[in-house]
Amino acid sequence: MRELWGMLPDELTALMQTWGEPAYRGRQLFKDLHKGLDFADMTVLSKPLRDRLRGQMPVPPVTVLEEHASASDGTVKLLYGLSDRNCVEGVLMRYHYGVTLCVSTQVGCAMGCRFCASTLNGCVRSLTAAEMVGQVLCANRLLRPENGRISRLVLMGSGEPLQNYDEVLRFIRLVTHPDGLNLGARRISLSTCGLPDMIRRLAGEGLELTLSLSLHAPDDATRQTIMPIARRYTIQETLDACEAYYRATGRRLIIEYALIDGVNASQEDALKLSRLLRGRNCHVNVIALNSVRERQLYGASEAQIARFMECLTANGVSVTRRRTLGDDIEGACGQLRKKHLEEHGQ
Ligand code: SAH
């Protein structure tokens, strides 16, 4: 049976009916599950029903194994444990407009980007929708003492969300449901290394998600040296799919570009990127690469980043620097899980 936290209200209603309960129990249960209540605290439900639910789902799909708070900016890095002893990570980031949670969609990742720690041991498995909901519920529990809650999500943790399409879409339908967490689709960013067919499919879902493309290179040859996916699809094919997404949803594309010293950060690269993106409905987010010593890839210097951004701006491309948060707590994708695996084996 699918985990309760991954079931939509209609599905819970059907389940309750097969258990001989009235239909409205489904909606009550959905609301309480997404408030993050333990079964014992679901007092709108009868005691026998709560016991039966607990018997069915004895453990929550996700628990917090480790919690590292940054002393400098309030960022919290989380290591979550799953019921099969795998683990994934997340980051909670505080901005003036609210708290954003970075959500993982797979244990590890199969895409093989050279600069990314999540992919070093490949993809172990995809997460279920309930395991993604569980990450948000854990983060909300953490924020409860300060009366806070997660208001934005970025699907930028480990994994390629478009390779786990059905469960990711289900997750989005669950967290945007008005009886549940009720997050606005516009406040959810889906980040992908760029799978054109899947981007086109997403365009047809009628959801106003923000799409982020991890581009990281101004031309195919450079992209192929750091991202294996670039050998399957050209930048042009990928940007065409993103354009179709924009036409269907009206959501401006975000381009993610991590500046890597000696790879993609020169003035010539900046000019090429400007030519590629000028006139498109997109915004570039630059970030200094979190250095990956195992691969001898290092972030560009502050001066290089400033020059790169000036070039884009001068050429009419909209660009901002993404704030680097949680530098002191292994904030980058996959770093904390990697460290945990090295220290604990499993
Ligand atoms: N698979 C998806 C989402 C997960 S990665 C994707 O590729 O977009 C989330 C973002 O972090 C991507 O833009 C990815 O390229 C970036 N990233 C991964 N490793 C990084 C590193 N060491 N430094 C900076 N950004 C990194």
Does residue 160 sit in the same domain as residue 207?
yes
pLDDT, position 346: 45
Long-range contacts of 335-344 (CB under 8 A, 24+ apart): 335/117, 335/290, 336/66, 336/68, 336/77, 336/79, 336/89, 337/79, 337/87, 337/88, 337/89, 337/117, 337/118, 337/158, 338/117, 338/120, 340/65, 340/66, 340/79, 340/87, 341/121
Q: Would you say the CB of residue 142 lies under 6 angstroms from ligand 1?
A: no
CA-CA distance, 216 to 95, in Å (whole number)?
Answer: 25
CA-CA distance, 338 to 306, in Å (whole number)?
Answer: 31
Does residue 137 sit in the same domain as residue 24?
no
* 253 residue type, one letter: L
CA-CA distance, 71 to 337, in Å (whole number)?
Answer: 20
Q: Verify whether residue 89 is a known catalytic residue.
A: yes
* 312 residue type, one letter: L
CA angle 314, 251, 288 (to 5 degrees): 50
pLDDT, position 326: 59
Q: Would you say the CB of residue 211 lies under 6 angstroms from ligand 1?
A: no
What ligand 1 atom has the least distance to the C-alpha of 160? 1
pLDDT, position 294: 82
Q: Would you say the CB of residue 15 lies under 6 angstroms from ligand 1?
A: no
| Neighbouring residues of 343: CB distance < 8 A, sequence distance ≥ 6 | none
pLDDT tens for the chain, 346 residues long, are: 899 999 999 999 999 999 999 999 999 999 999 999 999 999 999 999 999 999 998 888 999 999 999 888 889 999 999 999 999 999 999 988 899 999 999 999 999 999 999 998 999 999 999 999 999 999 999 999 999 999 999 999 999 999 999 999 999 999 999 999 999 999 999 999 999 999 999 999 999 999 999 999 999 999 999 999 999 999 999 999 999 999 999 999 999 999 999 999 999 999 999 999 999 999 999 999 998 888 899 999 999 999 999 999 999 999 999 876 555 555 555 667 777 777 665 4
We report the CATH number of the domain holding residue 169 as 3.20.20.70
Does residue 257 sit in the same domain as residue 113?
yes
Burial of 22 per CB tally in 10 Å (0-12, 13-18, 19+): exposed
pLDDT, position 47: 96
Does residue 150 sit in the same domain as residue 40?
no
We report the CATH number of the domain holding residue 37 as 1.10.150
Q: Which of 39, 58, 77 is the endpoint of a domain?
A: 58
Q: Which of 58, 73, 90 is the endpoint of a domain?
A: 58
Does residue 147 sit in the same domain as residue 239?
yes
Measured in angstroms, how far is the CA atom of residue 190 from the centroid of ligand 1? 12
Q: What is the DSSP letter of 323?
A: P
CA-CA distance, 346 to 342, in Å (whole number)?
Answer: 8
Q: Would you say the CB of residue 254 lies under 6 angstroms from ligand 1?
A: no
Q: Which pair of tokens denotes residue 184?
A: 């606005």
pLDDT, position 328: 57
Does residue 47 sit in the same domain as residue 162?
no
What ligand 1 atom has the least distance to the C-alpha of 115? 22
Does residue 240 sit in the same domain as residue 189?
yes
Does residue 54 sit in the same domain as residue 76?
no
Does residue 105 sit in the same domain as residue 89?
yes
Q: Would you say the CB of residue 116 lies under 6 angstroms from ligand 1?
A: yes
pLDDT, position 192: 98
pLDDT, position 73: 85
Does residue 273 sit in the same domain as residue 313?
yes
Domain of 243 in residue numbering reads as 60-343
Does residue 308 sit in the same domain as residue 159?
yes
Does residue 132 sit in the same domain as residue 220?
yes
Q: Which of 58, 87, 106 is the endpoint of a domain?
A: 58
Q: Which of 3, 89, 167, 330 is catalytic?
A: 89
| Domains in the chain, number | 2
